[in-house]
Each structure stands twice: as structure tokens, then as C-alpha cells.
Amino acid sequence: MTSPTQKIRGSSISHDNDGPCSSSDQQRSCLSINYLPDSILRFIGEYLPKSSRAIMASALSRSACFDSDTLDFSDIGRDLAPKLTDSDISSILESIDAVNTLKVLKLIGCTNITGVGLDQLRGSIVLEQMDLSTSDSAMIANGEALFSPNFPWCFTLSEDAVIPILDSIIAEKDRALRHVQFPLVWRKKKSKQLVEFLESYNVPKRSRVCVQCDDNVVEFALWMNQTKDSSDWGLQRHTCYECTGHICQECEVGFCQDCKKQFCESCCTTKICDMCYSAVCSACEDLEVCEVCD
């Protein structure tokens, strides 16, 4: 009697030419997932969040698992993201050729990294957006607690590791970077290193046209808020967090007071408090009346 294993190994499944399993070794090796053709891996990946596809690409050393230009680690939830290390991040970015392909990187939830794993992005001319706020709004202190002397209790992302990488990106003549969300901790600290980066980042490399009215963004407006003693210091201005489109001062419509993100009219998801008219995006809270006015 033929065993089930023999039946599987004797299968006439076509592997085409897009996988590493050749006709000579498929009899003994094709039961390994890493020998599946690229087309099958891409099909499997369609059922996974983009960040999970990237992790799969790293685990299998197969870039075919990931076919997106966006990597948002909030997709994988709060249980897995905090377990990722710098080595994991570096391996993931390398496996998907991030320096040449990745346009959006959001590290929300990756609370266990220092940032050295981001070195794979050094000198990228395709990266458009980087969200370095590793802790989301539900995991951090807010209000007065944010600026208290004992905050943060634990924060690992290092300016010494990350800012030189950002410097290498904005130093490129054809840089694409247009939106950076900095951690609340860094914005509170206002280190010399971050101040110098903001000054360089504020120098435009190309014209900035408003996505709403097609007019240039106010020429003298700073790209990053550098108002001394402001709680919004270090926040990106005139740029939509969702689409990274530029917004002039006349067309700015949505700024979430909770997560501190700006939105254009097309992407605006903010809700307004009926009492004090403060705005909170729908991702932060289903707002009718804010906590202050409740």
C-alpha cells in the first residue's frame, strides 16, 4: 500500500520556475514551506497584515512574501511588536530591500528597540514617512504627566542611533522624506542633536504645493514646530499624516489634540467636542464630548 507521504511526494503539482524547488530535488525537499514558489507565498501573504508579511519575508529570506511599500507595525498588535528587537527590525528591512522600496515606516508598538536596526534605511531616497512614536496613545502618559520630571519610566529608542540615519536621508539631493513623527520623549528633551536635525529638515529641497488648493505652502513657514516652550515643539506642520500631502495654512482642517497628527480635508478623521471644540481623531477616541468637558 502506498503511504500518504509517498502520495504527496509523487504529486504532479506544478512549481513553475519562480521558486527554488527544481525538478531534481522536489521529491525530497518540497514539503518545506521555503520551497514553495514565489506565487504561492504571495498568495499566502494576501491573508496577512503587511507587517506580518515582512516578518515572513525575513524568516524565509524570501522578499516575494512582501510586496508593499508600507510597513506599519501597529498591524501586528501589542503582544508581538514589543518583542521585536533591533536585530529583528534590521533583518526585516534587509529582507524586503527597504532602502530601495519602502516609502512608509511606522514603528508604533516597537518599544523594545534602540533604533540601530534602522541602519538599513541609511541614505534612502524613497522613504517618505517615518513614525518614530513607538508607544501609541493608549500606552503613554498624556497631559501634565508627559512633562513631569519622572516621565518616561522606560524608553529605549535612542537619538544617537536614529538621528544620524535621518541625517543621511535628508542629505541626499533627491530625498523623498516629507513627514517625521518624533517620540514625545525626544520632543520634551529638545536635545542639541534633535534641534540641529530640525534646522536641516526645515530647509526645503523642492517646492511644496498644497494638495487642497494647488498653491505653494507659505514660503516662510517652518516645516517643524520650533516654538520655544510649546508642547507642540518638534511636531510636523503643514503635512497630512495619512497621505503625507502638503497643506497650506488656509487649508489645514484637522489636528488631533491627542496623537498630535495633522490631516488634510480628504483624510480628515477628526471629531470635534461639542463643548470646547477641541479635535480628536477617530483613531484615538469616539468623541462627542471631550474628557475636560465631560
Question: In a 10 Å sphere around its CB, with 0-12 CB exposed, 13-18 middle and 19+ buried, how is residue 26 labelled?
Answer: middle
Mean pLDDT by 10 residues, the chain (294 residues): 41 42 50 67 74 79 78 83 92 92 93 94 96 65 50 74 96 91 90 93 74 66 78 87 83 75 78 68 60 53
Q: For residue 205, what pLDDT is reported?
A: 60
Is 254 strand, coil or helix? strand
Q: For residue 126, what pLDDT is reported?
A: 96
Q: For residue 245, what pLDDT is reported?
A: 85
**Phi (first) and psi of residue 99, to 5 degrees:** -60, -25
CA distances, 161 to each of 116, 194, 249, 282, 287 (Å): 5, 12, 34, 33, 37
Q: For residue 215, what pLDDT is reported?
A: 67
The domains of the chain are located at: 26-201, 205-294
Q: For residue 33, what pLDDT is reported?
A: 67
Residue reference for cell 510597513: 71
Q: What share of the chain is helix, strand, coil (3-state, %, to 5)?
A: 35, 10, 55
Q: For residue 16, what pLDDT is reported?
A: 45
Q: Are 72 and 101 in contact (CB under 8 A)?
A: no
pLDDT for 169-201, tens place per residue? 999 888 999 999 999 889 988 999 999 999 898
H-state helical runs in 48-158? 50-60, 77-80, 86-95, 98-101
In CATH, what number does 26-201 get? 3.80.10
Q: For residue 103, what pLDDT is reported?
A: 96
CA distances, 268 to each of 159, 177, 189 (Å): 31, 22, 30
